[in-house]
């Protein structure tokens, strides 16, 4: 039986760290992705003794598979701008953008590693594949956000702005926006630089898998490894993406149950060879968000390769293997919508990442009901981009008890479910994005079939929502995948029973 919050294990075993290092730390950070390493680096610069726990290969993590589009306005949708939670996330994204130049400069000074930024600017293309309810609305929302924040941008001819583009005629881009302040970074070089910087500032790494939380008297005491070793610290930060859930599950139910569970936004991406006579664009090139994901995008990887991403499938648990349908869909989209001769490219790398989603669609940032246990995950697609900001804010919050920016406080882990749309709008959103997958996959159907499928999907999603809860509805990207993964419904019911409802916003 799980001990109650106030009782926990009182006999903490003899503490030790592999390699003969010390046994007690000011902070134990679980997770060696971009968020965990960034927080560790800031804490070390503040003079704390910190260790990072995580397997060297980062199995199933999001960071290593990310295309690392280093922007926020290109991610804006109509749903971002019509509720306080979406606007709060946008505010955090904008604030993070303003930190990246200094963050990269400090990393280079610490490590000598340069060239982390691999793309300059972002071109958002509006192509003929999209649906009016998604792409037209998305382009309008992006422009609105840019104008609201006074961010420089330019309406450009996509053929002139990106000569590399050569899609099939039926997928040609009709318009584009160039955002000069949104860039791209090489996630592999970024991870290497962060790792080196942590070592140079005196941090330590424990390349093992943490399997349980150690706690007592209502407070965390450290984490236990699979071999029985305990890493002691009265502050533990779960920053291991979707992998944080397994550790959270070892906490008492009154700690874990009122926190929206972490699930996987499984993404598949590829690195493709590029013809030497057609150099890839210097910028990120992307569509608006659609098909439950971040749209189709490409980021240069030197003169001879391009990164192309990414799919998104909501799953109850992480996975390490690409599905045939996801890889086929991505490659087909790349050749049809970006450049036709990519069909003849070599696949030099296939990457699978598990974006950390939550059951209500928003991050988990702050301290839990177990004193000293902090969470820094659930960021879905925003984790890498917001890492300099979140690392600084969480460090101040953890060390000094300094209240974070108001936007961050909205996403404290223990909370009622956040809703940004009513049930009708959620069901409609899920239906439209489900149909968008078919259109993007170039489906060949009699013209009236999509019209017939529309109300069928809508009825299915409405029935699923009504069976879950009388008033609370999960976000569209969760609702739409419950028929395929019924475990999601069970997870939602447990969370709703323990967290209580929150009125819809917007």
- Residue numbers of the domain that contains 351: 65-187+263-358
Q: Which residues contact 147 (CB under 8 A, 6 or more apart)?
A: none
Within this chain, do residues 92 and 177 fall inside the same structural domain, yes or no? yes
Element (H, E) at 429: helix 423-440
Tokens of 346: 């070599």
Mean pLDDT, the chain, whole residue set = 91
Q: Residue 137 is part of a domain; what is its CATH number?
A: 3.30.9.10
Tokens of 248: 């959270």
Domain finish residue from 338, 358, 378: 358
The verdict on residue 399 lying in a domain is no
Q: How far is residue 252's CA from residue 18's CA, in Å, rounded to a whole number? A: 28
Within this chain, do residues 353 and 430 fall inside the same structural domain, yes or no? no
The verdict on residue 89 lying in a domain is yes
Measured between its terminal Cα atoms, the distance across the chain in Å is: 42
pLDDT at 10: 32
Q: How far is residue 462's CA from residue 427's CA, in Å, rounded to a whole number? A: 6
pLDDT at 23: 67
pLDDT digits (tens, 9 = 90+) for 262-304: 999 999 999 999 998 899 999 999 999 998 888 899 999 888 9
Closest CA to 315 of 487, 94, 80, 113: 487
The verdict on residue 104 lying in a domain is yes
DSSP classification of residue 339: B
The answer to whether residues 49 and 25 touch, using CB atoms and an 8 Å cutoff, is yes
Q: How far is residue 79's CA from residue 169's CA, in Å, rounded to a whole number? A: 30
pLDDT at 15: 38
Spacing of C-alpha 438 from chain mean position: 24
Tokens of 10: 């009182």
The verdict on residue 397 lying in a domain is no
Longest CA pairwise span in the chain (Å): 70
pLDDT at 6: 40
The verdict on residue 22 lying in a domain is no
The CA–CA distances, whole Å, from 296 to 75, 111, 148, 380, 462 equal: 12, 33, 25, 16, 28
Q: How far is residue 398's CA from residue 62's CA, in Å, rounded to a whole number? A: 24
Number of domain units in the chain = 2
Within this chain, do residues 71 and 182 fall inside the same structural domain, yes or no? yes
pLDDT digits (tens, 9 = 90+) for 337-393: 999 999 999 999 999 999 999 999 999 999 999 999 999 999 998 999 999 999 999
pLDDT at 362: 97
The verdict on residue 227 lying in a domain is no
pLDDT digits (tens, 9 = 90+) for 21-70: 336 999 999 999 999 999 999 999 999 999 999 998 888 777 766 777 78
Within this chain, do residues 292 and 440 fall inside the same structural domain, yes or no? no
The verdict on residue 433 lying in a domain is yes
Cα dihedral: 401, 405, 410, 411 (round 10): -70
Q: Which residues in the chain show pLDDT less than 50?
A: 1-22, 503-506
Q: How far is residue 38's CA from residue 376's CA, in Å, rounded to a whole number? A: 11
The verdict on residue 226 lying in a domain is no
Residue 101: strand, helix, or coil: helix
Within this chain, do residues 307 and 428 fall inside the same structural domain, yes or no? no
């Amino acid at each position: 039986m799980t001990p109650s919050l106030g009782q926990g294990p009182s006999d903490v075993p003899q503490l030790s760290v592999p390699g003969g290092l010390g046994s007690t730390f000011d902070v134990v950070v679980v997770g060696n992705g971009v968020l965990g390493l960034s927080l560790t680096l800031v804490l070390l610069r503040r003079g704390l003794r910190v260790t990072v726990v995580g397997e060297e290969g980062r199995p199933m993590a999001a960071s290593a598979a990310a295309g690392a589009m280093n922007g926020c306005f290109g991610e804006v949708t109509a749903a971002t701008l019509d509720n306080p939670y979406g606007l709060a996330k946008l505010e955090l994204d904008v604030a993070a953008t303003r930190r990246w130049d200094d963050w990269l400069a400090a990393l280079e000074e610490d490590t000598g590693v340069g060239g982390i930024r691999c793309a300059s600017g972002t071109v958002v293309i509006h192509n003929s594949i999209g649906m009016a309810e998604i792409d037209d609305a998305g382009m309008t929302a992006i422009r609105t956000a840019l104008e609201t924040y006074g961010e420089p941008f330019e309406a450009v001819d996509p053929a002139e702005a990106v000569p590399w583009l050569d899609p099939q005629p039926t997928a040609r881009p009709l318009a584009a926006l160039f955002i000069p302040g949104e860039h791209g970074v090489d996630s592999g070089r970024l991870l290497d630089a962060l790792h080196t910087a942590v070592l140079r500032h005196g941090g330590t790494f424990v390349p093992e898998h943490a399997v349980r939380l150690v706690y007592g008297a209502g407070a965390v005491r450290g984490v236990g490894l699979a071999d029985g070793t305990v890493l002691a610290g009265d502050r533990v930060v779960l920053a291991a993406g979707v992998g944080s859930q397994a550790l959270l599950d070892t906490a008492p139910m009154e700690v874990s149950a009122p926190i929206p569970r972490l699930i996987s936004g499984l993404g598949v991406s590829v690195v493709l060879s590029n013809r030497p006579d057609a150099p890839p664009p210097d910028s990120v090139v992307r569509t608006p968000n659609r098909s439950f994901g971040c749209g189709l995008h490409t980021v240069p990887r030197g003169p001879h390769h391009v990164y192309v991403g990414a799919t998104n499938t909501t799953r109850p648990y992480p996975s390490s293997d690409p599905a045939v349908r996801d890889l086929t869909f991505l490659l087909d989209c790349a050749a049809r919508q970006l450049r036709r001769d990519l069909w003849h490219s070599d696949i030099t790398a296939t990457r699978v990442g598990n974006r950390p989603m939550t059951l209500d669609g928003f991050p988990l940032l702050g301290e839990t009901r177990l004193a000293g246990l902090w969470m820094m995950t659930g960021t879905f697609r925003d984790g890498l981009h917001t890492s300099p900001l979140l690392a600084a804010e969480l460090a101040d919050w953890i060390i000094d008890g300094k209240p974070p920016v108001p936007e961050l406080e909205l996403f404290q882990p223990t909370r009622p479910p956040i809703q940004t749309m009513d049930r009708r709008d959620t069901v409609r959103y899920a239906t439209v994005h489900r149909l968008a997958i078919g259109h993007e996959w170039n489906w060949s159907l009699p013209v009236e079939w999509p019209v017939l499928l529309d109300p069928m999907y809508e009825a299915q999603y409405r029935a699923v929502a009504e069976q879950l809860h009388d008033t609370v509805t999960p976000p569209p990207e969760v609702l739409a995948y419950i028929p395929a993964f019924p475990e999601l419904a069970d997870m939602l019911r447990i969370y709703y029973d323990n967290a209580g409802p929150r009125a819809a916003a917007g």
